């Protein structure tokens, strides 16, 4: 995972319910332990990562500490818009006026790609740091931003927003900034893309299609594919006859369940590997035992740390 | 103590709601299959079924109209019919505009508008809204006497109930009324509006004025229709012949959503039908420790295999105990004494045989 930790931005994306927030949290812990000052960003006002790490959900818009060296921010487009207006309009009063205008809010919502652009714009700002006062240089407070992206289609819309928007606008400060954001997302040296799937048919199909979609939207490839919640392979083909002939016992049912499920999962793992030929594929184990706050994220972060 | 079959006997509209990834599509299809076997003419509306499940139902083509599942594949009793369709959100929304528009010109004008294309996704919550729109249409289709709706795979099950309200709130909102006021578009020149539009243009370089005026002018003719439709949908959802089934897995996040959703149904006065817990790991009340299990099986399996089997069983029982605690919590929170539990099968449900196994568990006596 070292390659990903050296980027400025890592986008975690995949089908709904595959554990993107869990993986983002684990990756955040790994990065923080490696000494990278890290912030995990969620959009659309979501606060799944703090919940997974057993922290109180924080209000949208602000940065909050989750662990040593690990912060979190929940971005929503309303806050992002307000912040943008205050930073880019010459008079604070004008920004306030626009922000309170119901029509302006409506127009912003109706402008194609605008909401996504505001959110990804805020993420991009995090990778750049805030402008210093009195014309001093920008100071980055985080070395790495992990974006816990929304599920596949909405996640893609988020990454494609700068381009969609530039096509609609062409001129103006937002379009100019959109171009800079797009350049950052397309540059593999600055931005890493981690596609997450579970070893299930639909999740793998979505992950496979995503590679082509990302090529189309950003003209670049995925850095890593990650298979989450993979069951252990504990029984070989040689055990089959014995398991099938075994007496009817609840323990034998459990073993047959794991065997059949595990094999179906390995078939999906092979599908994912075929779809992501030439891209490193990592697996996270299915955890039978829960951690203090549900999934044991700490343990997963150590698996990521060891992953080549 | 009543079985799911008894609870669904008088119901014509069955809505399966719950978090994404809990197997709602499978449960919806199994319920539809059961009702068809009882001799009903059933349409099941799904959003995004797994490819092989879709194929087994004969849904290779993505159409926005129900297709009849080949009766040869099903053992249906009497006049029973099973129909299935995959929802195409965009087409359903466009069709709705077609139904509500006074004439073809207005319809085409709206469909071609840039603002409409964006709003139809952003504000209406598209899939959520259109699923309900499609459901409403199908209840007026004489071919069916029961409709099973598999709600969209949204991470937040509540979006589904909010979507129609969000659209009418938008249409009734102040901004909309500003545009629809007698002075209409002339008021765009008024101070607040021009600041807003000017600010937007300055920031984005996008001049929306023309698109916006065209959109608001065209949609004005439809607002009454939207409002009437929304009221009719509210009546349909609260109808005694409608029932909401809350579907969940025992996982913590999904269970949380099921609890919120059930509370929301109660507050809205909507009919809660049953709690269905899918993917349950069966509890073995006799399991004590893995050494004992290994010793018991050593004769039949040999030492190495018996140990691995025992270890697996201990781990699966860890899941089973977590599941049992989760089900108890769900039952308590929902005030539901008889949750319907479906075990986590060895294989993914993607053929009619496996679907029939789910059906059998859903409709078994408690």
Q: At B71, which CATH number?
A: 3.40.50.300
pLDDT at A303: 95
Beta carbons of B50 and A174 less than 8 Å apart: no
Residues 6+ apart with CB under 8 A from A267: none
Digit-coded pLDDT (tens) for A95-149: 776 666 666 666 666 666 777 888 999 999 999 976 555 555 667 899 999 999 9
- Most A CBs within 10 A among B199, B299, B302, hence the mutation to make, goes to B199
B307 assigned to some structural domain: no
Kind and range of the H or E run holding B204: helix B191-204
Strand B81-86 versus strand B67-68 pairing type: antiparallel
Q: Is residue B257 left, alpha or beta, with left meaning phi > 0 and alpha meaning psi from -120 to 50?
A: alpha
Digit-coded pLDDT (tens) for A244-297: 999 989 999 999 999 999 999 999 999 999 999 999 999 999 998 875 556 789
Distance from CA of A138 to the nearest CA of B (A): 23
What pairs with residue A294 in β-bridges? A291
Nearest Cα residue in chain A from B215:
A110
A161/A167 Cα distance (integer angstroms):
10
Q: How many CB pairs under 8 A join A and B?
A: 163
B310 assigned to some structural domain: no
Q: Is residue A249 left, alpha or beta, with left meaning phi > 0 and alpha meaning psi from -120 to 50?
A: beta
pLDDT at A13: 97
Beta carbons of A107 and B197 less than 8 Å apart: yes
Q: At what angle do helices B303-334 and A250-275 cross, to 10 degrees?
A: 90
Beta carbons of B204 and A246 less than 8 Å apart: no
Token pair in block for residue A5? 């930790």
B26/B32 Cα distance (integer angstroms):
10
Token pair in block for residue A13? 């994306």
pLDDT at B187: 45
pLDDT at A171: 62
What pTM was estimated for this model as a whole? 0.84
**Pair B264, B295: CB distance under 8 Å:** no
Token pair in block for residue A18? 């595959």
Nearest Cα residue in chain A from B49:
A202
Beta carbons of B293 and A111 less than 8 Å apart: no
- The CATH topology of domain A2-306 is Rossmann fold (3.40.50)
Q: What value does the CA radius of gyration of chain A take, rounded to a whole number of Å?
A: 22
B199/A100 Cα distance (integer angstroms):
12
Domain total in chain B: 1
**Pair A4, A27: CB distance under 8 Å:** yes
Domain span at residue B160?
A: 4-285+316-362
B115 assigned to some structural domain: yes
B293 assigned to some structural domain: no
A181/A291 Cα distance (integer angstroms):
38
**Pair B146, B115: CB distance under 8 Å:** no
Give me the interface pTM, i.e. the ipTM: 0.85
Task: Report chain A residues whose CB lies below 8 A from the CB of B118.
Answer: 110-112
Distance from CA of A261 to the nearest CA of B (A): 6
**Pair B42, B82: CB distance under 8 Å:** yes
User: A261-270, B44-53, B194-203, B244-253: lowest mean pLDDT where?
Assistant: B194-203
B118 assigned to some structural domain: yes
Beta carbons of B51 and A239 less than 8 Å apart: no
Strands (E), B47-162: 67-68, 81-86, 146-150
Token pair in block for residue A43? 């959009």
Of B206, B293, B315, the CB nearest to A111: B206
């Amino acid at each position: 995972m070292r390659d990903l930790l050296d980027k400025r931005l890592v986008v975690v994306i995949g089908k709904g319910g595959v554990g993107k927030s869990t993986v983002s949290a684990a990756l955040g812990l790994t990065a923080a332990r490696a000494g990278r000052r890290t912030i995990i960003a969620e959009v659309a006002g979501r606060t799944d990562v703090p919940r997974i790490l057993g922290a109180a959900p924080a209000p949208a818009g602000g940065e909050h500490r989750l662990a040593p060296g690990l912060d979190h921010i929940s971005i929503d487009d309303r806050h992002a818009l307000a912040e943008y207006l205050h930073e880019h309009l010459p008079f604070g009063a004008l920004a306030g006026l626009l922000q309170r205008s119901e029509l302006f809010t409506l127009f912003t919502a109706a402008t194609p790609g605008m909401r996504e652009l505001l959110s990804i714009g805020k993420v991009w700002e995090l990778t750049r740091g805030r402008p210093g006062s009195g014309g001093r240089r920008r100071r980055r407070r985080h070395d790495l931003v992990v974006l816990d992206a929304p599920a596949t289609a909405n996640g893609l819309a988020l990454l494609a927003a700068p381009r969609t928007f530039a096509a609609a606008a062409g001129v103006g400060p937002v379009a100019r900034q959109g171009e800079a954001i797009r350049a950052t997302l397309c540059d593999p040296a600055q931005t890493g893309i981690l596609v997450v799937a579970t070893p299930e048919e639909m999740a793998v199909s979505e992950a496979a299609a995503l590679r082509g979609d990302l090529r189309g939207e950003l003209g670049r490839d995925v850095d890593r594919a990650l298979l989450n919640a993979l069951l252990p392979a504990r029984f070989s083909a040689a055990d089959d006859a014995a398991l099938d002939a075994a007496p009817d016992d609840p323990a034998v049912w459990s073993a047959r369940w794991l065997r059949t499920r595990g094999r179906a999962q390995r078939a999906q793992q092979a599908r994912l590997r075929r779809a992501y030929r030439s891209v490193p594929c990592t697996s996270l184990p299915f955890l039978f035992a829960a951690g203090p706050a549900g999934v044991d994220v700490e343990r997963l972060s150590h698996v990521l740390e060891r992953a080549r | 103590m009543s079985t799911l079959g008894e609870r669904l006997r008088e119901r014509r509209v069955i809505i399966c709601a719950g978090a994404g990834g809990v197997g709602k599509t499978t449960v919806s299809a199994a319920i539809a299959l059961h009702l068809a076997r009882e001799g009903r003419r059933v349409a099941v509306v799904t959003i995004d079924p797994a490819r092989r499940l879709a194929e087994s139902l004969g849904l290779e083509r993505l159409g926005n109209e129900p297709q009849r599942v080949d009766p040869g594949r099903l053992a249906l009793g009497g006049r029973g019919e099973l129909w299935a369709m995959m929802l195409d959100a965009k087409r359903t929304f466009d069709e709705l505009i077609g139904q509500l528009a006074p004439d073809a010109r207005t319809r085409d004008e709206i469909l071609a508008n840039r603002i409409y294309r964006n709003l139809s996704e952003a504000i209406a919550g598209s899939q959520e809204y259109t699923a309900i729109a499609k459901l409403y249409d199908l209840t007026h289709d004489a071919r069916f006497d029961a409709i099973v709706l598999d709600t969209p795979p949204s991470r937040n099950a509540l979006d589904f109930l909010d979507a129609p309200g969000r659209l009418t709130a938008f249409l009734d909102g102040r901004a909309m009324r500003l545009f629809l006021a007698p002075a209409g578009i002339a008021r765009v020149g008024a101070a607040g509006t021009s600041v807003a539009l000017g600010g937007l243009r300055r920031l984005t370089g996008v001049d929306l004025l023309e698109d916006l005026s065209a959109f608001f002018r065209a949609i004005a003719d439809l607002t009454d229709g939207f409002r009437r439709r929304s009221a009719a949908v509210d009546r349909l959802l609260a109808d005694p012949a409608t029932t909401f089934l809350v579907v969940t897995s025992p996982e913590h996040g999904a269970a949380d959503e099921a609890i919120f959703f059930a509370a929301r149904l109660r507050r809205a006065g909507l009919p809660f039908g049953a709690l269905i817990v899918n993917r349950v790991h069966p509890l073995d009340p006799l399991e004590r420790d893995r050494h004992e299990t290994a010793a018991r099986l050593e004769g039949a399996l040999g030492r190495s295999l018996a140990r691995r089997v025992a270890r697996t069983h201990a781990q699966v029982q860890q899941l089973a105990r977590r599941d049992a605690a989760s089900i108890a919590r769900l039952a308590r929170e929902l005030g539901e004494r008889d949750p319907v539990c479906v075990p986590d099968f060895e294989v993914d449900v993607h053929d009619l045989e496996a679907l029939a196994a789910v059906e059998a568990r859903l409709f078994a006596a408690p």
